[in-house]
């Protein structure tokens, strides 16, 4: 699982039959320093994540398999919308 | 799911029986910088994926990687780790 920022939407008429009606979003994976990963990801959203919001993305396809059946290629799903992230202070992370 | 541009197709002779009859496409993944610049370029490291949607050269697809890529062939066991899940119509990314 990782944190990502929602940065757009994808419209796709032609897709795997199990995924009709799905909402696809563009997610940029976040690093600890707030920078984003080099490649964007397409994630499935059931929770209604808004543009710019930070979400928790799960890369385990089992939850999608439960919903769309055993033959679905769906994998990355928005598992939650983040309220707050608290990172350890740089000073307390050091362990002499 | 990552995004990739279809750059061509691959045929195999011979191949393992599990891959016979499958369409293989060469994909060039799209980087975040190229997506936000909307310049039609890929920029990622090429890979081969199974395509059952009939994506044409130049089209952008979303492809699943990992174990989930073999789910559409369930319960058959196939040596597939990338699968074209959707063909992109439009992407809205960046500031709305």
The predicted structure's pLDDT at residue A34: 84
A9 → closest Cβ in B29, B52, B92: B92
Instruction: Kindly report the nearest CA distance between residue A9 and chain B, in angstroms.
Output: 5
Chain A residues touching residue B69 (CB < 8 angstroms): 73
For B62-80, write each residue's pLDDT tens digit.
Answer: 999 999 999 999 999 999 9
Distance between CA atoms of residues B89 and B52, nearest Å: 17
Q: Residue A44 belongs to a domain with what CATH number? A: 2.40.50.220
Question: What's this model's pTM, rounded to 2 decimal places?
Answer: 0.90
| A6-54 pLDDT tens trace | 999 999 999 999 999 999 999 999 998 889 999 999 999 999 999 999 9
Q: What is the pLDDT along chain B (96 residues), one digit of tens a residue?
A: 999 999 999 999 999 999 999 999 999 999 999 999 999 899 999 999 999 999 999 999 999 999 999 999 999 999 999 999 999 999 999 876
ipTM of the complex, rounded to two decimals: 0.90
Q: Which domain holds residue A15?
A: 2-83
Q: Is the peptide bond before A79 cis (omega within 30 degrees of 0)?
A: no
Q: What is the CATH code of the structural domain delimited by B2-87?
A: 2.40.50.220
């Amino acid at each position: 699982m990782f944190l990502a920022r929602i940065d757009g939407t994808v419209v796709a008429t032609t897709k795997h039959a199990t995924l009709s009606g799905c909402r696809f979003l563009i997610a940029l994976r976040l690093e600890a320093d707030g920078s984003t990963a080099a490649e964007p990801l397409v994630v499935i959203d059931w929770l209604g994540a808004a543009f710019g919001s930070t979400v928790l993305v799960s890369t385990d396809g089992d939850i999608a398999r439960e919903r769309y059946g055993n033959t679905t290629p769906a994998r990355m799903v928005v598992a939650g919308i983040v309220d707050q992230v608290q990172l350890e202070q740089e000073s307390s992370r050091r362990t002499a | 799911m990552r995004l990739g541009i279809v750059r061509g197709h691959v045929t195999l002779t011979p191949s393992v029986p599990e891959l016979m009859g499958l369409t293989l496409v060469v994909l060039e993944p799209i980087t975040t910088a190229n997506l936000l610049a909307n310049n039609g370029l890929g920029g990622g490291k090429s890979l081969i994926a199974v395509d059952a949607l009939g994506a044409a050269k130049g089209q952008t697809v979303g492809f699943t990687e990992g174990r989930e890529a073999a789910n559409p062939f369930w319960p058959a066991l196939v040596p597939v780790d990338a699968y074209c899940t959707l063909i992109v119509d439009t992407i809205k990314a960046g500031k709305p």
